[in-house]
Amino acid sequence: MSDLHEMTALAQAGAVARGELSPVELADHYLDRIAALDGELGAFLTVAPELARSAARQAEQEAVAARRDGTRLGVLHGVPVPVKDLVQVEGVRCTWGSAAFADHVSDADDHVVTRLRQAGTVLLGKTNTAEFGLPCYTENRLGPPTRNPLAPDRSPGGSSGGAAAAVAAGLAPLAHGTDAGGSVRIPASACGLVGLKPSRGRISNGPLRPDVTGLSTHGALARTVADAAALVDVMSGWMPGDVYTAPPHPGGLTLLEHARRDPRPVRVVVLREPMVPGAVLHPDCAAALDSAAAALESLGHEVTAVEMPPDGDIVAAFTRVWSVEAASYEVEPGREGELMPFTAWLRQVADGVPAREYAAALATFRGLGQMLTDLLFASYDVILSPALAEPPVLIGELRDDADPAAEFARMTAFMPYTTVYNLTGMPSVTVPLTRDAAGLPIGVLLGARYADEALLVSLAAQLHHPRATSPSS
């Protein structure tokens, strides 16, 4: 057997089910790699070896019983899955990426953690994140910045940068992340991974810090589309108290099953230019987009380019809602000074957002979703765009502690494509296809109608690893 960390997550689960691999052996392998390598990488904020080994022993007992009784295990049974430190795990430290919560320990599980436990996965620990998940880098006051395993002087992006770094460095086979503006897909692109953000309501956001805006959802970072689809499958499902729920996938199939099927010929619309005023597309990212469009055409799909004008009103609406999200964290008065300058600035911005403006901003999001449905998805099945406007940036390049407003503008120009799918609740996936002359990964972004993850993962899998067959009718 090759090095365990070179196997896909689904291959690991298959080996566990057949009795060829012990979940305990697998957990120990990754814990050893974390101990040896993460000091330089900074992918984890908290490692939970005792919890991981306990879950691995239980998974092994269940696997033995399943083989004895002839029952089937879950698709990721026994596979290690770290979770981002924006979700809570009972008895484990949860910092939300903030020094102001450095000593906070959770007293209950979030629903997504409950789902992961039920699926027989093994929690390795909590991955690093930007403070409150607000910026699109992974630098905070809890320790050194997270580094991109493919280029240590570069940022892995954020805010799920720790999750992406862990998977790219072989410290985990795949990882949970959260995405409220691109926080799964941005680091996936920067680290050469698949990043899947499902539709709003596909995965429960409750119960401890439910997102009333609908912007944020849990997602998956992995090396293959199939692995990412499997992780979304095991995290999905309605839970008591959920406000948003997504309908089942077509044909009663799982997302993984759809990822293993070739798509029908689809109509793809290419959106090249950023919808953010002033954002400029880097030539390397434009070249990756052209390559993806050509690949889709060669696979038998219809590809058409359309221009959408930049819209400053959408940026302004997002700024208002994002600032209120920053202010929603209840920080003890004596610890406000421990917040990052960007977080503190956003919380000040929230003080000037009246209730009517906040409601109008949320209405803008709904209007955008209707516009995409009426103008684009009436004629096309999938949107193709760059994942980012630039290749991975240097650590610290996006930060401006002296001028947080300028920092926000800089980040917006860096990531002008991902946020539209958070505003509308539609699914989106980053697909790693190319690298630039410096060897840095450049991803592209696919988006689909609400609840149409099935088509999205089928097309993404075909694009990522083309099969010999042509699209089925």
The single residue of 98, 160, 183, 428 carrying the catalytic annotation is 183
Tell me if residue 159 is catalytic: yes
272 Cα distance to chain centroid: 22
By the 8 A CB rule, do 462 and 253 touch? Answer: no
150 Cα distance to chain centroid: 18
Q: 382-386 and 267-270: which strand pairing? A: parallel
The single residue of 22, 84, 155, 458 carrying the catalytic annotation is 84
Residues 6+ apart with CB under 8 A from 432: 188, 189, 192, 193, 194, 441, 442, 443, 464
- C-alpha 319/C-alpha 302 separation (Å) is 36
Residue 445 identity (one-letter amino acid) = L
Residues 6+ apart with CB under 8 A from 193: 164, 167, 168, 187, 221, 222, 223, 430, 432
Classified as helix, coil or strand, 47 is strand
- State the virtual CA torsion across 205, 206, 210, 214 in degrees, nearest 10: 30
Tell me if residue 183 is catalytic: yes
- Give the orientation angle of helix 225-235 with respect to helix 111-118, to 10 degrees: 110
Rg (Cα) of the chain, in Å, rounded? 21
The single residue of 22, 98, 159, 189 carrying the catalytic annotation is 159
Residue 207: cis peptide before it, omega within 30 degrees of 0? yes
Burial of 198 (0-12, 13-18, 19+ CB in 10 A): buried
- C-alpha 176/C-alpha 379 separation (Å) is 33
Strands (E), 34-117: 44-47, 83-84
Tell me if residue 84 is catalytic: yes
What are the catalytic residues?
Answer: 84, 159, 183
